[in-house]
Amino acid sequence: MRVLDFDYMLGLVPVLLRYLPLTLQMAAAGMALALILSCGLAVIRVLKIPGLNAATLLFISFFRGTPLLVQLFLFYYGLPQLLAFLTQINGITATIMGLTLHFSAYMAESIRAAIVGVDRSQTEAALSIGMTNGQLMRRIVLPQATRVAVPTLMNYFIDMIKATSLAFTLGVTELMGATQKEAAGSFLYFEAFITVAILYWIIVELLAWFQRWLELRLNRAYRR
């Protein structure tokens, strides 16, 4: 067994950090879009909107039932063959699209559970004073569901950050892709991959810390 090349690892950190913004941007874009989409899907499921409900169930079943990597390949390599205007979808776009659709399928179910968990009598109270379904969702149900859903959604965000590493299989040079290139040049595979692992780990721990802070804040209204 040889000794780890710490100097190489330390030198690698600033090189890799140059690619961190792309990783975070893809995760942030994916999360923002997935939040919008999953809220829509969850509301369709809760209100059981005819037609759309069945379509939503199918969507959720497909995107939870197939591997993310397969979905990414489907969008990146498959879609352009099907839809001419997508002749060249870039890897970043395909990744964001894949993350959005894949994670929104999971998030929709968490959000639905959080919405359904809001005390039904508050819904009736809101209706009884003449609120519309939309007003009741926006002002009463979603704010309370948010509080319940935030911890789970933060976990999905953390998963999503880690999942951006799959983008390197679509030729995107993000954190993982950059590490792969560096390792191939130096042949110090262990040093390169343990360095990137530690970087992901630190990011995730920072987020976990933020998550705990957020939960405390959100729970303020409900403490006796």
Positions in the binding site for other proteins (CB under 8 A): 119, 121-122, 124-132, 135, 139-140, 143-144, 147, 221-224
**Residue closer to other proteins, measured from CB, 14 or 130:** 130
**Residue closer to other proteins, measured from CB, 119 or 205:** 119
DSSP class of residue 74 equals: I
Q: Least Å distance between CB 117 and other proteins?
A: 12
Instruction: Find out whether 66 and 58 touch, Cβ atoms under 8 Å.
Output: no
Using DSSP's 3-state secondary structure scheme, residue 171 falls into coil
**Residue closer to other proteins, measured from CB, 81 or 128:** 128
The Cα–Cα gap between 220 and 3 comes to 51
The Cα–Cα gap between 41 and 55 comes to 10
Q: Least Å distance between CB 122 and other proteins?
A: 6
Q: Least Å distance between CB 142 and other proteins?
A: 10
**Residue closer to other proteins, measured from CB, 88 or 121:** 121
Rg of the chain (C-alpha set): 21
Q: Kindly state the tokens that stand for 129.
A: 């004073």
The Cα–Cα gap between 18 and 134 comes to 44
Q: Least Å distance between CB 199 and other proteins?
A: 38
